[in-house]
Amino acid sequence: MLLNEELRTKGELAKEAAFKLGTLSTALKDQALLVMASALEKQEKEILRANEKDVAEAQARGMGKALLDRLSLTSARIKEMAEGLRAIAALPDPVGQVESMWKGAQDIQIGRMRVPLGVIGIIYEARPNVTADAAGLCLKAGNAVILRGGTDALNSNKAITEVIASAAESVGLPRGSVQLVEDTSRETATQLMKMNQYLDVLIPRGGAGLIRAVVQNATVPVIETGIGNCHVYVDSAANLQIAEAIIINAKTQRPGVCNAAETLLVHEKVAREFLPAVSAKLLTLGVELRGDSLTRELVPDVKAASAEDYQVEFLDLILAIKVVSSSQEAMEHIRRYGTKHSEAIITENYSTARLFLQNVDAAAVYVNASTRFTDGFQFGFGAEIGISTQKLHARGPMGLKELTTVKHIIYGQGQVRE
């Protein structure tokens, strides 16, 4: 693969930086994160000025309101980015941890030591705050990072990267630890996805289209994140009060995120008792309901669901509903339409709960709790780089540990293989 000048230069620099970062003390990395946080606050004006330019250009191009909101920085948002970096500094450093140590053949002593992945590529879209968050997490885990944000946020991303990269260098982090790809053309993105000689892993952060494009084009190993078509299944043996609280929480507490519920499955035995009451509440909360014919018989205000409604991630105040005749049918529906993110059953039946936990294939499978808990902080991992919905390397919330790998260290005293 021929790489353009920018990628080659940044790739080389990142590889050198990663080699040095892997050996730095926790104290120095934490100091760098704190200095980066202060620098963001101190240089707020430059960042906001760059962001205004992006926002003005996006407005001129006719960008929609929701996207404009994602793109826009404020003093409060910059403060949040800084606080995010401070929170990362406060997390334990996974690098150098030896998870276990055992005796192998002939008493060689073998340990599994956590080490950085090396150079991480992050491809993301309109949110400029990802620049600081992703850089902070990668650095704390001892990795160099090459960021490739969207064209819309280029000025903001450049300003943020400049501020944090020079802050990091000022305390002794190697040059090239944090870099931004400034050529945001599609050709350069494609080259980035294939630069196996420099990148150890590529993490796309964004919508389904972006993730699909990265999976299709990358030769660098990819960790897929974040597509969540999550279900809540209310079993015939459900505590209906719990069921109501959970579906309301899973749908409405923050509808735009990947662990929000998109479909409600209800066992036919409790549908008559459950659906009219919960639908009334959901409608009051502004949720649009789209159901199958059984649901619509019970609740006239529900619109007809198309096949597609069970497939898409609404990321909005819309809920698909389906009445099923058994937990088996619910699990089949989840198997067919789910994206292996987060799935919940509400039941008081021991065997049904156990079957659901065992048979449903997803990063997180819940009994009697909201899917909204699939999150690094809620799980106790701290800040996360994303929610992995694939099966290799990391599954579910990816915190600092998931940004490392292991190496085996072996202590011998002259052993040779027989």
Residue found by looking up tokens 């940004």 in the block: 403
Q: Is 417 in the site for a second copy (CB under 8 A)?
A: yes
Q: Is 210 in the site for a second copy (CB under 8 A)?
A: no
Q: Which is nearer to a second copy, 69 or 377 (CB)?
A: 377
Q: Which stretch binds a second copy (CB under 8 A): 83-91, 175-183, 226-234, 360-368?
A: 360-368
Interface residue with a second copy among 36, 365, 383, 400 (CB under 8 A) is 365
- Give the span between the Cα atoms of 228 and 91, in whole angstroms: 27
Binding test (CB under 8 A) with a second copy, winner from 9, 253, 293, 328: 253
- Using DSSP bridges, classify how beta strands 201-205 and 119-124 pair: parallel, antiparallel or unpaired: parallel
Nearest one of 48, 10, 384, 408 to 226, comparing CA atoms? 384
Applying the rule CB under 8 A, the residues between 88 and 147 that interact with a second copy are 96, 102-105, 108, 110, 113, 115, 117-118
Tokens 């919905």, residue located: 389
Query: Rule CB under 8 A: is residue 213 a binding residue for a second copy?
Result: no
For 407, counting Cβ atoms within 10 Å of its Cβ (0-12 exposed, 13-18 middle, 19+ buried), the class is exposed
* 246 part of the interface to a second copy, by CB under 8 A: yes
As a whole number of angstroms, the distance between CA 167 and CA 175 comes to: 11
Shortest CB 121 distance to a second copy, Å: 13
Q: Does 393 bind a second copy (CB under 8 A)?
A: yes
Task: Please tell me whether residue 406 binds a second copy under the rule CB under 8 A.
Answer: yes
Which of 60, 61, 76, 216 is in the footprint of a second copy by CB under 8 A? 216
84 lies in the binding site for a second copy (CB under 8 A): no
Q: How far apart are CA 286 and CA 282, in angstroms?
A: 7
The interface with a second copy within residues 168-207 (CB under 8 A) comprises 196, 200-201
Nearer to a second copy, 66 or 392 (CB): 392
State in angstroms the smallest separation of the CB of 411 from a second copy. 6
The stretch among 72-80, 123-131, 249-257, 296-304 that binds a second copy (CB under 8 A) is 249-257
Q: What is the separation of C-alpha 380 from the centre of its chain, rounded to a whole number of angstroms?
A: 15
CA 268 to chain centre: 35
The burial of 413, by beta-carbon neighbours within 10 Å (0-12 exposed, 13-18 middle, 19 or more buried), is given as exposed
